[in-house]
Every structure is written in structure tokens, then in C-alpha cells.
């Protein structure tokens, strides 16, 4: 049987997404979803959505969405591509910019665990850059790659490296830089200006986090026209559906709402970070909608399992660099209080 499946696919370990316990009554702090609903504009779109129009193909270029994005970031619609989630765009970047046999892809280690999976699928070399003991970033001497993913803020650590460092890297790196800014609306600064001014820098964004629309699968990239055009050539023709385009346009037209819920999440994040520090946790400075923490007096895996048996799901990434830590998504204040209560109860026996 297997002789018909490509060798690289046979040997592939697929990316493991965070658990989705459908229907179960749990507090879900494991996949960085937003605790608040999307903009009320989205409900209006659904209320007036005509099923009649669903018989027609969507605009293959997602023009309406690109126009709103261009306004938001002060660029031209031709500098924008819309994807079926930013994951699609990350995959397209490897397919467009990395030659097989010779090409290579760099990214932080640890970082978004999808990058090496995409490289394995595309059969291109990976050149991860190991972060320091506290996940600080320094490039090795004479490092080169065809494409480098800067995750900013980084996941799963939540750390955002300083803009001048990123800018210097973008200006000197001898390949294409893709800034994966999935979490940037929770951060102090963004780097979209690098994508609109430099020759080979792209910034990717998603509506899954700050816009509370993980369910519709919509992301986009901003960058120089020739690179955007190359991505357009190889994307699936009708890659984004009609409803997703309409919903995204509505949500992106209401950035005030997004900023409001992002501010609430940032406040909850700071409150939770302080509460965990008081309880002896090491908490890394987060610019995202999650915290990267090391629990005191109990292994990360054990705490993960104990919380889970109490109906609170956080994320544990086994492995040398990540196994001692937990990634905790920022939920509502009520959810985070429940988490702290659960930790305090465990604490009576363990900490």
C-alpha cells in the first residue's frame, strides 16, 4: 500500500493541534482563542446573509477584504493577499520562496511548531535558530537561509523582540523575511511598516486571535508587490469563501471593537501574570494573549494533568526546550480566577 505514498509523507509526523473538546464543559485555555465574541458587525452580516448568493463562487482575489486591509495599514490592495487562515499563507511562502534542493527555512526554536511540519511537507532544509536559556534571540555568525520566520510576539513564549533588532535583521538578512504577527494586536508595537517599505519583508496577520474569528479561517499578508504576486500565482483559486470574506470585511471595518477587547485581554493578562508570580511561578513578559510560565515545586506536565482533571485545559509542549513550561491562554476574568483557585487548591498539597 505504502509504495503509493510519497516517502516524505510516510515519514511525516503531522502537526498536533490543541485539543478541541467539543461540547464538554471545560475551561479552554489551550489554543489562544479569544474569550469575547467578535464585533457586533459580524452578527449583522450573518443576519442579512442571503443563502441565494452561496450558489456563486467567491471573489478569487478577496478584493473587498484587501481594500479594508489596505486602508487599515495605509498601503495598496495590491500589496495584500488574503488566505484561508494565515497558516495557508505561511505554507505558500515556503512554496513560493524556497527552492527544493538548496533552499532552506529559518525560524526560532522554540517557535510555532507548524514551521518544521510545513518544511517537511515541502521537503526543504530547516535551519532553526536556538533561542537562549531565557528564550532571548541572537543570530549565529554567518547564518543564512532562503526564508526566515520571525514570530513576533513569539509563540509559545509570548516574548516580543525589540523593533530596532528586528528592523536591523530585516535589512541585513540575505533572504525573504516573513514576520508572523498573529498576536501583535496584544503587543506594544508592530512592524507592518517594514512590509510596506522594505523589498523582501512580508507581515502575516490573522483574524483568529484579536478579531475573535478563529472559526472563519481568514488571514492575510502585507508585502512588496512582486512577492505578493508570486503568492497569488500558487494559491488555490477560490481560497476564501464568500461568508468569510463578508464577515472579515465587517470585522476589519470595526477596529475600535478589536482594540477594546484586546485591551481587556491585556489587563487580564497583567493581572494573571502578577497573581502567578505571587504564587512562585516564573512568568515571562508576554506581549500576546497567553502566558508562558514555569510552575514552582511541581512539574509542568503534572500541573497540566492535574488542571485537566479539574476541567481546565492549558497547553503543555513536551520536549527539551518546552517541557518545563505551560502556555496558558488568557480567558475571561472569571476563567482566570477559576484557574488561580484551582492552582491554589493544588498548592495545598504540592507547592
Q: Using the rule CB under 8 A, is 10 a contact of its own copies? A: yes
From 150-158, 183-191, 243-251, 273-281, give the range in contact with its own copies by CB under 8 A: 243-251
What length does the chain have? Answer: 351
| Cβ proximity to its own copies, 160 vs 210, nearer residue | 210
Binding to its own copies (CB under 8 A) within 153-212 occurs at 175-176, 199-200, 208, 212
87: Cβ contacts below 8 Å, ≥ 6 apart: 114, 219
Binding to its own copies (CB under 8 A) within 86-125 occurs at 87-88, 91, 95-100, 103, 114, 121, 123
Binding to its own copies (CB under 8 A) within 251-270 occurs at none
Q: Shortest gap between Cβ of 333 and its own copies (angstroms)? A: 16
Please provide the distance, in angstroms rounded to a whole number, between the alpha carbons at the two ends of the chain: 52
| Cβ proximity to its own copies, 160 vs 262, nearer residue | 262
Q: What are the DSSP E strand ranges found in 223-347?
A: 282-283, 290-294, 312-313, 326-329
| Cβ proximity to its own copies, 114 vs 298, nearer residue | 114
Q: Shortest gap between Cβ of 324 and its own copies (angstroms)? A: 25
Q: Shortest gap between Cβ of 7 and its own copies (angstroms)? A: 7
From 67-75, 162-170, 223-231, 303-311, give the range in contact with its own copies by CB under 8 A: 223-231
Place of cell 441565494: 52
| Cβ proximity to its own copies, 201 vs 283, nearer residue | 201
CA pair distance 81, 232, nearest whole angstrom? 7
Q: Using the rule CB under 8 A, is 17 a contact of its own copies? A: yes
In the list 27, 29, 35, 180, the residue contacting its own copies (rule: CB under 8 A) is 35
| Cβ proximity to its own copies, 135 vs 211, nearer residue | 211
Find the Cα–Cα–Cα–Cα dihedral 327, 333, 334, 337, rounded to 10°: 60
In the list 244, 283, 313, 328, the residue contacting its own copies (rule: CB under 8 A) is 244
Angle between helices 86-97 and 114-122 (to 10 degrees): 40
Sign (positive/negative) of CA torsion 79, 83, 85, 87? negative
Q: Shortest gap between Cβ of 143 and its own copies (angstroms)? A: 17
Q: Which three cell numbers stand for residue 310?
A: 479539574
| 3-class secondary structure, 181 | coil
38: Cβ contacts below 8 Å, ≥ 6 apart: 211, 212, 213, 247, 251
Amino acid at each position: 500500500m505504502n509504495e503509493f505514498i510519497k516517502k516524505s509523507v510516510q515519514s511525516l509526523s503531522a502537526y498536533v493541534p490543541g485539543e478541541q473538546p467539543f461540547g464538554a464543559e471545560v475551561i479552554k485555555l489551550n489554543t489562544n482563542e479569544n474569550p469575547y465574541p467578535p464585533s457586533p458587525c459580524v452578527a449583522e452580516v450573518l443576519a442579512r446573509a442571503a443563502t441565494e448568493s452561496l450558489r456563486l463562487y467567491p471573489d478569487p482575489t478577496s478584493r473587498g477584504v484587501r481594500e479594508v486591509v489596505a486602508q487599515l495599514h495605509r498601503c495598496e490592495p495590491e500589496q495584500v493577499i488574503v488566505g484561508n487562515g494565515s497558516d495557508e499563507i505561511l505554507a505558500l511562502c515556503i512554496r513560493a520562496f524556497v527552492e527544493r534542493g538548496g533552499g532552506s527555512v529559518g525560524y526560532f526554536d522554540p517557535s510555532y511548531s507548524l514551521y518544521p511540519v510545513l518544511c517537511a511537507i515541502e521537503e526543504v532544509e530547516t535551519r532553526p535558530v536556538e533561542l537562549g536559556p531565557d528564550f532571548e534571540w541572537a543570530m549565529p555568525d554567518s547564518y543564512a537561509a532562503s526564508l526566515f520566520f520571525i514570530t513576533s510576539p513569539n509563540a509559545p513564549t509570548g516574548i516580543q523582540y525589540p523593533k530596532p533588532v528586528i528592523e536591523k535583521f530585516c535589512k541585513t538578512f540575505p533572504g525573504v523575511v516573513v514576520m508572523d504577527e498573529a498576536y501583535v494586536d496584544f503587543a506594544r508595537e508592530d512592524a507592518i511598516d517594514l512590509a510596506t517599505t522594505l523589498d523582501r519583508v512580508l507581515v502575516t496577520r490573522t483574524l483568529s486571535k484579536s478579531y475573535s474569528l478563529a472559526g472563519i479561517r481568514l488571514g492575510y499578508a502585507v508585502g512588496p508587490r512582486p512577492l505578493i504576486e508570486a503568492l497569488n500565482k500558487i494559491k488555490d483559486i477560490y481560497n476564501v469563501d464568500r461568508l468569510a470574506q463578508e464577515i472579515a470585511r465587517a470585522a476589519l471595518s470595526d477596529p475600535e471593537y478589536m482594540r477594546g477587547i484586546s485591551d481587556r485581554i491585556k489587563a487580564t493578562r497583567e493581572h494573571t501574570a502578577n497573581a502567578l508570580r505571587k504564587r512562585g511561578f516564573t512568568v515571562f513578559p508576554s506581549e500576546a494573549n497567553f502566558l508562558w510560565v514555569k510552575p514552582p515545586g511541581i512539574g509542568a506536565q503534572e500541573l497540566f494533568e492535574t488542571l485537566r482533571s479539574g476541567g481546565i485545559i492549558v497547553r503543555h509542549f513536551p520536549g527539551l526546550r518546552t517541557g518545563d513550561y505551560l502556555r496558558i491562554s488568557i480567558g475571561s476574568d472569571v476563567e482566570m480566577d477559576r484557574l488561580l483557585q484551582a492552582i491554589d487548591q493544588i498548592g495545598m498539597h504540592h507547592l
